[in-house]
Amino acid sequence: MSGIYTFFGVDHKCGTSMLCQSVAELIANEMPNWKILVIHTEGAPGTDYASGTRESMERIRPELAEGLIDVRDIMARAQWHDNLYLISGADPLEGDGKYHPNVSDHLLRNLKGFFDLILCDSGSQIDHGLALGSLFASDGILLVMIQAESAVRRFERLIPLYHKLNVATLGCLINRYQDKNPYTLSYLRERLDQFSGDFYTVGESSLGLLAEAEGKALIHYKDKAFGKDVRSTANLILEDIGVAPIGERVKNSWNLLKFRNISKIESWKTK
């Protein structure tokens, strides 16, 4: 039982990396016996919220070209914290940035048997070889957008391409969602009616700028609303794999860490 799931930004600056890292750290904490890999299949390192990464696509690239990859060697270098592993993306300062989609597709399929879960942060450049390869290799894709006209217009242009690629989309996450923004959930559903997937919201956090400044995933800052939305995002993935969802921790006088079991994904904002 394992799976490859990709976070792909509909537009630039949608918070894809922060969301992917937060989901990965939450699942790694809740599933201590799992090995979880975050791999940045994009044209940038992608490690703004994960300092100390020792493995990269640039370092692996020559081995892939020769067909001589040693997965256990990659795992040893990629281990970041306990059961969480990280591989940074294509650094434009270290290489030419040109990758064939087969590179990430082949690597991910080789790594899949060694991890319980692989999460790809594929940026927002669908024409980048690493990103495209991860879309092909994925068991499910979570699109990420924000409430902005530029994101909506780019989504409208990309919908025919998503259909052509025939990628398995779990849904679209509207990140940094604000109730008072005119681009409401109902408006976006109507405007993007050619997208057959579901829409989910991840609320705006007042601690987002602090997390970015300190280079940490927002999940560390104990924002309850954000944590709930991240848990719901994680449960979308776990449900697709066929694993019981992560429950909400409830404090009481008898059990300080009691989990309330839930039979389906928690309801998200639908207004």
How does residue 96 score in pLDDT terms, banded at 50, 70 and 90? Answer: low
Crossing angle (nearest 10°) for helices 129-137 and 101-111: 40
Q: What is the mean pLDDT of residues 133-141?
A: 93
Alpha-carbon dihedral 43, 173, 26, 118, rounded to 10 degrees: -50
User: Could you give the residue ranges of the DSSP H alpha helices within 1-148?
Assistant: 16-30, 57-66, 71-78, 101-111, 129-137
Q: How far apart are the first and last CA of the chain?
A: 36
DSSP state of 56: B
Per-residue pLDDT, 233? 97
Asked if the model's pLDDT at residue 207 lies above 90, the reply is: yes
Backbone phi and psi for residue 120, each to the nearest 5 degrees, phi listed first: -100, 130
Asked if the model's pLDDT at residue 271 lies above 50, the reply is: no
All residues at 6 or more sequence positions from 258 whose CB lies less than 8 Å from its CB, including other chains = 249, 250, 251, 252
User: What is the percent of the chain with per-residue pLDDT over 90, rounded to a whole number?
Assistant: 72
Residue of higher predicted confidence among 235 and 65: 235
CA distance 185 to 35: 35
How does residue 65 score in pLDDT terms, banded at 50, 70 and 90? Answer: confident
How does residue 94 score in pLDDT terms, banded at 50, 70 and 90? Answer: low
Between the alpha carbon of residue 38 and those of residues 122, 163, 208, 230, 254, the distances in Å are 10, 26, 21, 16, 37
Per-residue pLDDT, 165? 81
CA distance 227 to 22: 9
Residue of higher predicted confidence among 153 and 222: 153
How does residue 98 score in pLDDT terms, banded at 50, 70 and 90? Answer: confident
Per-residue pLDDT, 91? 80
Looking at the chain, the number of H-run helices and the number of E-run strands are 9, 10
Q: Are 89 and 42 in contact (CB under 8 A)?
A: yes
Domains of the chain by start residue, with CATH: 3-260 (3.40.50.300)
Strand ranges of the sheet holding 36-40, from the earlier edge strand across to the other edge: 79-81, 84-87, 36-40, 117-121, 3-9, 140-145, 169-177, 199-203
pLDDT tens per residue across span 213-260: 999 999 999 899 999 999 999 999 999 999 999 986 544 433 333 333
